[in-house]
């Protein structure tokens, strides 16, 4: 989903010394000018929240450790709830809220460039009542019968903790969730402890590898939790909402395969990049699954009728490499996330005898007529604000990668995919950087290829230069081959789109 981006004017700071002293209200994303903030880099978040499901009230205290990148007399954090007190380096700071999600902070003393500093924000509110201002009124906070789920993309953080809310500014996390006794409180990383109180319990989670803000999640409710450790020593934890019937049973069976799926991905893209793994299937119909770092969160609807859906697990776990470890530089680079994860499902199909990636490419290419502008008219390398999660970004994104594999050869292509994941692990990447790496490793000029697939709003010609078999322009797939691959195509599509009648933002 894409939330609003609402412009506002920063208050001017008087005096010559104030020039350039205010941290920007945005990090510079071309789609969402007010996502993130300027003037500092966050190193660590310590989030401590108490949540009461009956009232949907959240009370929080978050400590942000950061380093200035410029001289600062004030700076912003992204927070939609109401702040009651702010300190900077232990001293009270003044603060205002110029719009629905910006918290503008003026410390007691200016901060010099390159200086570590600590911000503590105390805040509270009812997250489900927060409505973005702009072209969409969607809130990513979802209440359930016994709790809530904070999961969303490209934003969710502002609904439950203050942050520099953009993928460019990653940090480590400590997350403490206090909830009524009898409920589970789930989040990312390792479960490092639980504190038992009279009427509440506190669950403590730690994320040791840098994580972008929208990937942090909380899920509160009654869950069946299973835990274990892989042969490589990586702990896994799965949580399935209780009393889920056939859908919960199917989800549990598929999520139990998480270590197996991660091992397969590691054989393709390189070592697993994080310290823990698992999955959460809450009693919530969000209409999508999200690749939350170390522990994706899945809408129960992906297992409608108690049917297995291993492809959604394959898709979200592929994001641990492409999207989580290597995150987008700007939201227009979303092909690097969704196209890559969808291609991984094609590769899984190929490895498990359910249709090769090239067979799926052929059926996708021939399955959409050139006149179907909704599919071919999207420039997936720059789909526009609020356009990141259109189906063509997923399907045509995967088509682009298989076509590239055909163009440069499997050995070079797999080297490219592994090199991209390794070189940018824990950081960010842009499409232009991926193209440069592809050209460098292949020794080919791929400008026309990527223009045709990513930036031209029409169906690429069936040419060798475009990574396609020219015969595909006229020769249809045989009935036997279509029968073999069609079911897999539908299963892969169901991994990114909800079953009929369910809503989606992907």
The verdict on residue 206 lying in a domain is: yes
**Helical axes 410-423 vs 391-408, angle rounded to 10°:** 120
The verdict on residue 352 lying in a domain is: yes
CATH number at residue 464: 1.10.390.10
Question: CA 130, CA 139: separation in Å to the nearest integer?
Answer: 7
Question: CA 71, CA 84: separation in Å to the nearest integer?
Answer: 26
> Which residues, in sequence order, are bridge partners of residue 86?
121
pLDDT of residue 132: 84
Question: CA 253, CA 272: separation in Å to the nearest integer?
Answer: 22
Mean pLDDT by 10 residues, the chain (506 residues): 30 38 94 94 98 98 98 98 98 96 97 98 97 74 96 95 98 98 97 96 98 98 97 96 90 98 98 98 91 96 92 98 98 97 97 94 93 96 93 96 98 98 98 98 98 98 97 79 78 68 36
Asked whether residue 177 falls in the same domain as residue 288, the answer is yes
The structural domain count of the chain equals 2
pLDDT of residue 14: 30
The verdict on residue 85 lying in a domain is: no
CB 334 within 8 A of CB 396: no
Asked whether residue 259 falls in the same domain as residue 126, the answer is yes
Q: What angle do CA 11, 131, 294 make, to 5 degrees?
A: 100
CATH number at residue 165: 3.30.2010.30
Range list of β-strands (E), 151-199 = 171-180, 184-186, 190-196
Domain end (from 324, 359, 389)? 324
Domain that holds residue 128: 46-59+121-324
Length of the chain, in residues: 506
pLDDT of residue 371: 96
The verdict on residue 25 lying in a domain is: no
Asked whether residue 198 falls in the same domain as residue 272, the answer is yes
Domain end (from 324, 348, 366)? 324
Asked whether residue 356 falls in the same domain as residue 404, the answer is yes
Domain end (from 324, 355, 383)? 324
Question: CA 380, CA 395: separation in Å to the nearest integer?
Answer: 10
Residue 181: C-alpha distances to residues 178, 185, 194, 204, 455 (Å)? 9, 10, 12, 15, 53
Asked whether residue 204 falls in the same domain as residue 287, the answer is yes
The verdict on residue 37 lying in a domain is: no
Asked whether residue 364 falls in the same domain as residue 422, the answer is yes
């Amino acid at each position: 989903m894409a939330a609003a981006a609402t412009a506002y004017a920063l208050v001017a700071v008087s005096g010559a010394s104030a020039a350039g002293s205010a941290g920007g209200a945005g990090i510079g994303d071309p789609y969402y000018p007010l996502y993130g903030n300027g003037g500092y880099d966050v190193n660590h978040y310590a989030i401590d929240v108490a949540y009461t499901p009956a009232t949907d009230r959240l009370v929080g205290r978050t400590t942000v450790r950061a380093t200035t990148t410029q001289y600062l007399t004030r700076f912003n954090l992204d927070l939609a709830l109401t702040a009651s007190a702010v300190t900077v380096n232990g001293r009270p700071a003044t603060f205002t809220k110029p719009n629905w999600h910006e918290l503008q902070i003026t410390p007691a003393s200016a901060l010099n460039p390159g200086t570590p500093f600590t911000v503590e924000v105390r805040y509270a509110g009812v997250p489900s009542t927060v409505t973005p201002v702009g072209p969409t009124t969607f809130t990513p906070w979802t209440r359930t019968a016994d709790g809530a789920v904070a999961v969303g993309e490209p934003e969710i953080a502002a609904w439950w903790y203050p942050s520099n809310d953009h993928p460019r500014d990653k940090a480590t996390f400590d997350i403490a969730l206090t909830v009524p006794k009898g409920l589970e409180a789930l989040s990312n990383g390792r479960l490092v402890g639980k504190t038992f109180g009279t009427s509440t319990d506190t669950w403590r989670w730690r994320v040791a590898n840098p994580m972008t803000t929208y990937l942090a999640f909380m899920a509160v409710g009654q869950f069946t939790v299973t835990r274990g450790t892989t042969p490589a020593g990586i702990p896994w934890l799965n949580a399935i909402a209780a009393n889920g019937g056939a859908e919960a049973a199917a989800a549990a069976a598929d999520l139990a395969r998480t270590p197996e799926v991660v091992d397969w991905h590691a054989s393709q893209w390189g070592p697993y990049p994080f310290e823990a793994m698992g999955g959460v299937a809450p009693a919530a119909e969000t209409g999508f699954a999200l690749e939350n770092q170390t522990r994706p969160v899945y809408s129960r609807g992906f297992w409608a009728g108690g049917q297995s859906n291993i492809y959604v697990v394959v898709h979200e776990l592929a994001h641990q490499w492409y999207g989580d470890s290597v995150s987008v530089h700007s939201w227009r680079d979303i092909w690097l996330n969704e196209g890559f994860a969808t291609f991984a499902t094609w590769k899984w199909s190929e490895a498990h005898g359910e249709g090769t990636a090239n067979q799926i490419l052929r059926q996708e290419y021939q399955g959409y007529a050139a006149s179907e502008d909704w599919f071919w008219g999207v420039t997936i390398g720059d789909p526009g604000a609020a356009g990141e999660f259109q189906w063509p970004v997923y399907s045509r994104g995967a088509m682009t990668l298989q076509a590239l594999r055909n163009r440069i050869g499997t050995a070079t292509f797999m080297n490219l995919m592994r090199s991209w994941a390794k070189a940018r692990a824990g950081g960010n990447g842009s499409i232009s950087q991926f193209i440069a790496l592809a050209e460098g490793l292949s020794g080919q000029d791929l400008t026309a290829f990527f223009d045709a697939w990513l930036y031209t709003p029409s169906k690429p010609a069936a040419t060798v230069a475009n990574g396609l078999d020219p015969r595909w322009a006229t020769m249809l797939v045989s009935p036997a081959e279509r029968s073999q691959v069609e079911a897999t195509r539908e299963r892969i599509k169901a991994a990114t789109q909800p079953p009929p009648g369910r809503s989606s933002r992907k």
